[in-house]
Structure 1
Amino acid sequence: MKFSQLIAALFSVALLLGLSGCEEKEQSKSFQWSGQGTEMTLTYYYKDDKVLRQTANNKFDYAAVGVKSKEEAKSILGPVSQKYQNIKGITEKVDYQDTYALETLNVDYSTVNFADLSALQGAEFTGEVKDGISMKKSEALLKARGFKEVK
């Protein structure tokens, strides 16, 4: 897998979106995927079917994506990561280790501007998001992409 494709996959999967929801006690569901030197864990916090916020914790080995050092990774990931900064409702950080990088991404759907979010590399929407993000549709999309629910 090319490095740019992996970067797009990391950021897009972190932002997989569906459609709307209702009201109830807040719950959470986590999903994991790993392969080709990459591990992703996504946690959704929701009420009824409406996703309120989401966290993504991604780890990828440099060797698996064709870079040899954290300096190389910073030069490629830095500009992508920078685009996530200063967007209300999003916090994103990449921690570069000797042989791998850890990305943490948090999205608060109650405050994020969906136009700003959709302009980011890898942002992916299914349907119209003006009424919110559907937990059921997000779960179906993740499972179709090979994610497994973590109980």
Structure 2
Amino acid sequence: MMKRTLCTLLVGTSFLLGACTQEDTATYEMQQDGIDMTVKNYYVDDTITKQHIETTMSYKTLGYASKEAAREANLDAEQEYNHEAGIRYKANYKRNAIATNLTIDYDKIEHLEALENLQGVTFEVESTNPVQVNKIKTEMLLKENGFKKLEE
């Protein structure tokens, strides 16, 4: 009887602890100089676990005469980003603008160097093994760079 009670208590405690570490989200938006950007942070407590970044930029703003020129200039980045564990990048070349989707799963990032050349990514690293991104400091960086937090 004592073993059954102890087992039930352990299972119940594990369930409650799992429920306490629920992943939440916070979304930030910026529109500036022909660039529209939305950053959605997924976090547990004070650690960002994933970021999803959607960006739309006009070719004119980027200094490209056409979508073909933008595609050519962006090709290396597309290939480089998608070869890194934890990083998924997709670009959609529209008539007058490029729309990109970048998802970074920090739990799967093996090396901090994989993040150093990502354009448009704002974060504050607390630890590099494993990569831990601080939610509060990252939020401050986003706001300093003109992002506004959206109500969810």
Residues 62-105 of structure 1, C-alpha deviations (whole Å, 9 max, x = no match): 12222121101011111122210111111101110111011000
Supply the AA of the counterpart residue of 2:135. M
Q: In the TM superposition, what are the counterparts of 1:43-122 in structure 2 within 5 Å?
A: 43-122=40-119
Task: Quote the Cα distance in structure 2 between the aligned partners of 1:119 and 1:103.
Answer: 18
Task: Quote the Cα distance in structure 2 between the aligned partners of 1:96 and 1:141.
Answer: 29
Aligned residue-pair number: 129
* 5+ residue gaps, structure 1: 1-22
- How far residue 116 of structure 1 moved from its aligned partner, in angstroms, is 4.2
Task: Quote the Cα distance in structure 1 between the aligned partners of 2:118 and 2:125.
Answer: 18
Higher helix share: 2
* 5+ residue gaps, structure 2: 1-19
Q: Cα–Cα, structure 1 residues 45 and 127, in superposed 2: closer, same or farther, change >3 Å? A: closer
Contact residue 123 and residue 134 of structure 2 kept, 8 A:
no
- How far residue 120 of structure 1 moved from its aligned partner, in angstroms, is 3.0
Contact residue 88 and residue 104 of structure 2 kept, 8 A:
yes
Contact residue 52 and residue 110 of structure 1 kept, 8 A:
yes
SS of structure 2 residue aligned to 1:142:
helix
Q: Cα–Cα, structure 1 residues 121 and 38, in superposed 2: closer, same or farther, change >3 Å? A: same
Task: Quote the Cα distance in structure 2 between the aligned partners of 1:127 and 1:49.
Answer: 12
**Bigger RCO (CA 8 Å, 6+ sep):** 1
Contact residue 87 and residue 116 of structure 1 kept, 8 A:
no
Q: Cα–Cα, structure 1 residues 120 and 137, in superposed 2: closer, same or farther, change >3 Å? A: same
Match of 2:133 in 1: 133
Residues 25-79 of structure 1, C-alpha deviations (whole Å, 9 max, x = no match): 2110000111111100000000110111110000001122221211010111111
Q: Which of structure 1's runs of 4+ aligned residues deviate more than 6 A?
A: none
Q: In the TM superposition, what are the counterparts of 1:136-147 in structure 2 within 5 Å?
A: 136-147=136-147
TM-score of the aligned structures, taking structure 2 as reference length: 0.77
